Structures are given as structure tokens and as C-alpha cells.
Amino acid sequence: MHVANLEQAFSALAEEAAGHTCYGMDGMKKEAQDMIEKIAPELLDGALAAGATHVEHYEIATYEGLLRHAETMGVEDVVALLQENLEQEQQTLAKVESAAARLAQRAATSPRI
């Protein structure tokens, strides 16, 4: 859905979609890999859930920025597509935050090894 919406947005702007290296996302992937290697196993799920919230916030900030540009340009069809993606990211964030809270609570109440 996200990719299809973005492709449709590029098409509406008469622009060609091209690949792009996202250094911020690369950094978050490396951070998650580092946690997997270093963190205590009983804390790993919570740490990864917290990392997932970073990713969702990053994606939300990106869509908010794109939306501001699309609104400024007055391209309402693109605004609608980006808004749909933003809302999905916000819904995902709510789910990830809920899971992170449950995992943090579980870690806090678990006996220490």
C-alpha cells in the first residue's frame, strides 16, 4: 500500500520514482543489530520494541515533512496519498508503543537472573 501510494504520488507529479539510501533507517537497523548482539536475552524483546518505536517516529516525521511540501505545492491528490500513509504509520506506532509498554512492564516485574 505505501509503495503503491508513493508510486501514484510520483506519477501525479510527473516524476519518476527512484531508489534512495535512507541513512537514518540504516543507522536504526545497525543499532538493532548491535542490541541483538549485546543486550541480555530477557530484555531483548523490550529493547527491540523500543527500537521499533524509533522507526515509526522517523517514518511519521518523514511523511509529515512530505505532506507540508505537498500542501504548499497545492497537489491535493498527492496530499491524500501521503496522508493515508501517515495515518497507517500512526496506527502502527500505537500498536508498537502498546507492545513496548507491555514488554517493559514484563521486564520490570520479572525476577532478575
Binding mask of the shown chain, residues 9 to 48, with x at each position contacting Fe ion by CB under 5 A? ----------------------------------------
CB of 54 to Fe ion, least distance (A): 11
Binding mask of the shown chain, residues 72 to 101, with x at each position contacting Fe ion by CB under 5 A? -----------------x--x---------
Give the whole-angstrom CA distance, residue 9 versus residue 75.
9
Give the whole-angstrom CA distance, residue 90 versus residue 57.
8
Contact by Cβ (8 Å): 8, 81 = yes
Give the whole-angstrom CA distance, residue 3 versus residue 29.
20
- The answer to whether 59 contacts Fe ion (rule: CB under 5 A) is yes
Counting residues that bind Fe ion (by CB under 5 A) gives: 4
Contact by Cβ (8 Å): 99, 49 = yes
CB of 26 to Fe ion, least distance (A): 16
Name the site residues for Fe ion (rule: CB under 5 A).
Answer: 56, 59, 89, 92
